[in-house]
């Protein structure tokens, strides 16, 4: 997969050089190819790389277009409902109440509850 991405990037750069033959002195075609190769290779635009570097977060326009948050660290995680019971060793937690007939419940986290403070 990495080899294919590298080949695509190199091919895009070589094809971008062909636009200079027409006499146009515009850098726009090369910039568009570089931007496209960057999105294909990293799922981020060049601007996303700049924002990610400046904020220290993993930000991507592609993530935003998929209906997620712009920066990965800004996503709110969903807390699962958990039931914990004391056993001989350390506590054991399950997604359903008392699956093996345990009676010493030591904790219960309802769904949607935030992390303990």
41, pLDDT greater than 60? yes
Average pLDDT over residues 5-33: 63
E strand map for 45-104 = 82-85, 92-94
As a residue count, the chain comes to 117
pLDDT at 4 over 80: no
More confident residue, 34 or 5: 34
What are the extents of the domains in the chain?
1-17+27-42, 46-77, 78-112
**Helices assigned H by DSSP within 18-92:** 28-42, 46-55, 61-65
Average pLDDT of the residues of the chain: 76
What is the structure's pLDDT at 19?
Answer: 52
Q: What are the two backbone dihedrals, phi and then psi, of residue 60, each rounded to the nearest 5 degrees?
A: -155, 130
Q: Which two tokens stand for residue 82?
A: 């958990």
Residue 117 has pLDDT above 50, yes or no: no
- Between residues 45 and 12, the one the model is more confident about: 45
């Amino acid at each position: 997969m990495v080899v294919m991405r590298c080949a695509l990037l190199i091919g895009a750069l070589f094809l971008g050089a062909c636009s200079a033959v027409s006499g146009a002195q515009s850098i726009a075609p090369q910039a568009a190819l570089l931007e496209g190769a960057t999105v294909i290779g990293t799922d981020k635009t060049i601007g996303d790389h700049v924002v990610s570097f400046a904020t220290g977060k993993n930000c991507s326009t592609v993530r935003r277009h998929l209906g997620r948050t712009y920066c990965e660290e800004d996503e709110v995680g969903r807390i699962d409902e958990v039931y914990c019971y004391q056993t001989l060793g350390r506590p054991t937690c399950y997604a359903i109440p008392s699956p093996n007939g345990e009676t010493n419940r030591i904790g219960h986290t309802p769904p949607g509850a935030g992390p303990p403070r």
